[in-house]
Each structure stands twice: as C-alpha cells, then as structure tokens.
Amino acid sequence: MNRTLLKPVGVLVALVGLLWTLQGTGVLGGSAMSGVAFWAFVGIVLIIGGVALYVLGERTLRARRRDRDDSGS
C-alpha cells in the first residue's frame, strides 16, 4: 500500500469502527447489527487498527521529511 494513503485509510477504518461500535452497543438503531455485542467488539478492533494505521502513516511521513531535509543540507 502506498504509504501516503495510510493516514486517510486509518481515519476511514477508525470511523467505520466507531459506527459499528455505536450500532453494536445499540446507540444507533435501524440495522441488523444494532444491539449485537459482536459488532461492538469488531468496531473497537477496527478503531484500534485505524489509529495504528494513522500513526504508522504519520511516522513514515515524518521519517521521509527528515531524510529529505538531511540530504538537502
């Protein structure tokens, strides 16, 4: 995966995880997932994964900027 896509994909995954967590806990109704604890658990896992992707993308971009700045000196 292109490293520059890690941050936006991480945000998207975390938002889907938040939606699924809210549905699984019954806060958001109107779907077959509403009130099913399995989806709350899966949502939490997705939130953690999304945050991890975002952090990985941020660290990668910082390292790339640092390397670029060091080579320009």
Give the DSSP letter of residue 35.
T
- Lowest-confidence region among 1-10, 16-25, 57-66: 57-66
Q: Is the pLDDT of residue 43 over 80?
A: yes
Q: Please report the pLDDT score of residue 48 as a whole number.
A: 98
Q: Please report the pLDDT score of residue 61 as a whole number.
A: 72
* Cα 38 from Cα 36, distance rounded (Å): 5
Q: Is 2 exposed, middle or buried (0-12, 13-18, 19+ CB in 10 A)?
A: exposed
Q: Are 40 and 20 in contact (CB under 8 A)?
A: yes
Q: Is the pLDDT of residue 8 over 80?
A: yes
